Amino acid sequence: MVSGAEVAQRAGVSRSAVSQILNGHTERFTDETVTRVREAARELGYRPSHAGRSLRRGRSDVVVTMVHERAVGPQLWDFVNSLGEDLAEVGLTHLLQIASPSDAVREAVIGLRPLAVVCTGPLPPGLHGTFAASGITVIEGALSAREAMDRSIGELQASHLFAAGYPALAPVRPVPDAGYLGTAAREAGARDWAVRHGMRVLPTVEIDLAAVDASFDSPDVGLACYNDEVALAMLGRIARAGRSVPDDVGVVGVDDSLIAHISAPTITTIRLNLEISRKAMVQYIVGGDEPDETLPIAPPPDVTVVQGESTRLPG
């Protein structure tokens, strides 16, 4: 079995440096040193052992990520996949579980004795406390941080539509909205920004994605859609009314999904950067903190516009 000392010798660093780098504490080292240690570990087939820590905590080497079925866009999937790769690098196993209030889900997660549970959205009522009482580290974004992110999404949609020359704005939300996270905050962000900058704000458009024969006939308006799926549905409704996108109506989605890039016209969308919170999570999980603590991941909102054909160019 390959030891940390052998990795240290191959990489030309101390055993302590190997331990810190492979356990996520890379901030003290240069990028070149981090790369050299990770490459040496891969070449030698070295896997850090968490047996001692797991035994001491009474935990397994499993990390469970709870995801919401209707809130899994491409950025979140990228985040989840990259989180799994980062955890694998430090010898941890990553499992996914759809967030559910059922007793079966609760008991299954507790039965795994996971090192941590990562939440991509609010947990069902009571579940957070149950996990914490079982000695599981619960890692979830603070509610204020999630609301700030969603508000910033709505604000950016509104500012882009304003810059593109649309005098009016209408938020678009899916109904029923159960399971769609952040709808109210995104809508509020768009509305408040539009009011502050003198845009005319129209009533919220509620769209049933299953209704395929509806239309939308309101010119000179920009639509701030909940996500790219909703934006695609609105493109169909606008076309059925005989209106033109982007000349008559502008459409902005969220998620920078495949849908946005293959639709006709392509959809202007909002991209979310979750890189900061992922790195913080991994470092916290492997850093030796006690498992009854809760980490509020609260990175600053980091959202950008990806220009498509569904809005005019800002000018």
pLDDT of 136 over the 50 cut: yes
Task: Give me the percent of the chain exceeding a pLDDT of 70.
Answer: 83
Amino acid sitting at position 78: D
Helix (H, G, I), strand (E, B) or coil at 282: helix
pLDDT band of 214, cuts 50, 70, 90: confident
Please report the pLDDT score of residue 12 as a whole number.
92
Summarize the confidence of residues 253-267 as an average pLDDT. 94
Q: Lowest-pLDDT range, 56-60, 151-155, 237-241, 253-257? A: 56-60
Summarize the confidence of residues 167-176 as an average pLDDT. 94
Please report the pLDDT score of residue 106 as a whole number.
85
With beta carbons less than 8 A apart as the criterion, state whether 241 and 280 touch: no
Closest CA to 309 of 243, 262, 240: 262
- Using left for φ > 0, alpha for ψ between -120 and 50, and beta otherwise, residue 81 falls in alpha
pLDDT band of 295, cuts 50, 70, 90: very low
Contacts of 229 (CB under 8 A, 6+ apart): 174, 209, 253, 257, 259
Q: How many CB atoms within 10 Å of residue 304?
A: 11
Architecture category of domain 53-142+274-298 in CATH: 3-Layer(aba) Sandwich (3.40)
pLDDT digits (tens, 9 = 90+) for 174-208: 988 766 778 999 999 999 999 999 999 999 999 98
Please report the pLDDT score of residue 55 as a whole number.
46
Note whether 53-142+274-298 and 145-273 share their fold: yes
What contacts 24+ positions apart, CB below 8 Å, involve 238-241? 240/213, 240/214, 240/215, 241/215, 241/216, 241/217
Helix (H, G, I), strand (E, B) or coil at 265: coil
What is d(CA 128, CA 298) in angstroms, rounded to the nearest whole number?
18
Summarize the confidence of residues 108-126 as an average pLDDT. 83
Summarize the confidence of residues 101-127 as an average pLDDT. 83
Please report the pLDDT score of residue 128 as a whole number.
82
Please report the pLDDT score of residue 81 as a whole number.
86
E strand or H helix that includes residue 58: none
Hey, what's the torsion of the CAs at 71, 72, 75, 78, to 10 degrees?
A: 150
- At 278, list the tokens: 């992922």
More reliable by pLDDT, 133 or 251: 251
Please report the pLDDT score of residue 144 as a whole number.
58
What is d(CA 263, CA 230) in angstroms, rounded to the nearest whole number?
12
Rounded to the nearest 5 percent, the helix, strand and coil shares of the chain are 45, 15, 40
Q: What is the DSSP letter of 300?
A: P
Beta strand 221-225 with 168-174 is parallel
- Report domain extents, the chain: 4-44, 53-142+274-298, 145-273
pLDDT of 78 over the 70 cut: yes
Task: Give me the percent of the chain exceeding a pLDDT of 90.
Answer: 38
Mean pLDDT of the chain: 83
For the domain spanning 145-273, the CATH number is: 3.40.50.2300
With beta carbons less than 8 A apart as the criterion, state whether 181 and 71 touch: yes
pLDDT band of 71, cuts 50, 70, 90: low
pLDDT digits (tens, 9 = 90+) for 13-67: 988 888 778 766 777 889 899 899 989 988 888 866 554 455 445 678 899 988 8
Beta bridge partners of 227: none
Summarize the confidence of residues 154-178 as an average pLDDT. 93
Please report the pLDDT score of residue 1 as a whole number.
64
What is d(CA 231, CA 216) in angstroms, rounded to the nearest whole number?
12
Summarize the confidence of residues 149-169 as an average pLDDT. 96
pLDDT band of 87, cuts 50, 70, 90: confident
Cα Dmax for the chain? 70
| Model pTM score | 0.66
Cα 129 to Cα 58, 63, 76, 144, 165, distances in angstroms: 19, 18, 25, 19, 48
pLDDT of 234 over the 80 cut: yes
Q: Lowest-pLDDT range, 5-9, 205-209, 213-217? A: 213-217
